[in-house]
Structure 1
Amino acid sequence: KERFISLTIKKKQQDVVRFLEANKIEFEEVDITMSEEQRQWMYKNIPPEKKPAQGNPLPPQIFNGNQYCGDYDSFFESKESNTVLSFLGLKPRLASNVVLQLLGQVTVVQ
């Protein structure tokens, strides 16, 4: 079961990264599996109403700076409705500072 969850998270992470790369949105990855500080930052900055009833939210979680954008499901829905730049808090063709919490990584879009 643990391996299945890891593969699912990894596929979601890759989907987000592929979108960023395809749209030439710069990003930096930071490993949250190796940093308790980064992991706690992610947990702290997700609004209470967006956290699961039990356990901690799983990556990928998406932020623009300290502003929470949403989880992978929200990202996917915005991609399907062609509103993903708005979801990320970006103006069309202009990047700002987006932080994506991914499988063991935080991705910062600059």
Structure 2
Amino acid sequence: MQAGKLRPNLLTLSAASADSHIFIQNAGTLPAVHFSVLLLCSGLCKPSGVCSDRCASVKAADMPVIVYYASVSGSLELKKNQERIMSVLTSKKIPYETKDITQNSADKDAMRKKAGNPTAMPPQICNGDVYCGDFAAFENAIEDNQLEEFLKLGRKA
């Protein structure tokens, strides 16, 4: 199982198979907006595979935004760009999944294939298998008030 992080400095989570569902688990008494954690559920919350009352089931199709990032980098600019993307998505309550390309070469290959660039560097953003763009395109979309269109979402971001 591949480990990934939803947000840097919070938790490392285990990813389950693609047919698993996703649930949101509140970290107790802390404010949900700031401390909700997205986990891939493979029936671990209950042996029956049904999430407990503290979980809100969400189908994987409802969380298509993927942010490819690098947890290991000597570039302060790259780290700030990645944090900016995750911060904006979190503040706008847009669910997203992160994939750390430094921990799994298959994720790096998938990122580069989706970007159509064999030398693409993180951060890169996709909506499922559809490439959205890099950090510069993300910033331009925010500036132009076009984030929903950039992320290819069917709702107002």
Q: How many residue pairs align between the two structures?
A: 85
Per the alignment, residue 21 of structure 1 pairs with: 90
**1:7 matches 2:70:** no
More strand by share: 2
In the alignment, the residues of structure 2 paired with residue 28 and residue 76 of structure 1 have an alpha-carbon distance, to the nearest angstrom, of: 19
Match of 2:154 in 1: 91
TM-score, length of structure 1 as denominator length:
0.70
- 1:1-110 to structure 2, matched below 5 A, reads 3=74, 6-47=75-116, 51=117, 56-93=119-156
Offset from partner CA, 1:64-104 (integer Å, 9 cap, x none): 1110111110110010010011100012337xxxxxxxxxx
Which structure would you say has the larger Rg?
Answer: 2
The Cα offsets for residues 6-39 of structure 1, whole Å up to 9 and x where unpaired, read as: 2111100011001111101122322210101111
Q: Which runs of 4+ in 1 moved over 6 A?
A: none
- Stretches of structure 2 that go unaligned for 5 or more consecutive residues are 1-72
Relative to the length of structure 2, the TM-score reads 0.50
**Hey, what's the Cα distance between the residues in 1 that align with 2:154 and 2:134?**
20
Where 1:85 maps in the other structure, the secondary structure is: helix
Q: Residue in 1 aligned with 2:47? A: none
Superposition RMSD in Å: 1.8
| Gaps in structure 1 of 5+ consecutive residues | 95-110
Secondary structure of 2:126's aligned partner: strand
* Counterpart-to-counterpart distance in 2, 1:76 and 1:44: 22
